[in-house]
Amino acid sequence: MTVKQLAEQPPFTTADGSTIRSILDAANAPVRNQSLAEASVPVGGATQRHYHRASEEFYFLLEGRATMEIDGEVREVGPGDAVLIPAGAWHQISADNGEPLRFLCCCAPPYSHGDTFFE
Q: What is the pLDDT of residues 33-42, one digit of tens each?
A: 999 999 999 9
- Per-residue pLDDT for 16 more than 90? no
Position 14 scores a pLDDT of 83
**Confidence grade of residue 112 (pLDDT, cut at 50, 70, 90):** confident
State the burial class of residue 116 (Cβ atoms within 10 Å of its Cβ: 0-12, 13-18, 19+). middle
Residue 100 half-sphere exposure, CB side, CA atoms within 13 Å?
Answer: 7
Prediction pTM value: 0.93
The whole-number average pLDDT for the span 19-23 is 94
Integer Cα distance of 37 and 72 in angstroms: 25
Integer Cα distance of 104 and 6 in angstroms: 11
Integer Cα distance of 69 and 74 in angstroms: 4
Position 17 scores a pLDDT of 81
Instruction: Name the CATH topology of 11-107+114-118.
Output: Jelly Rolls (2.60.120)
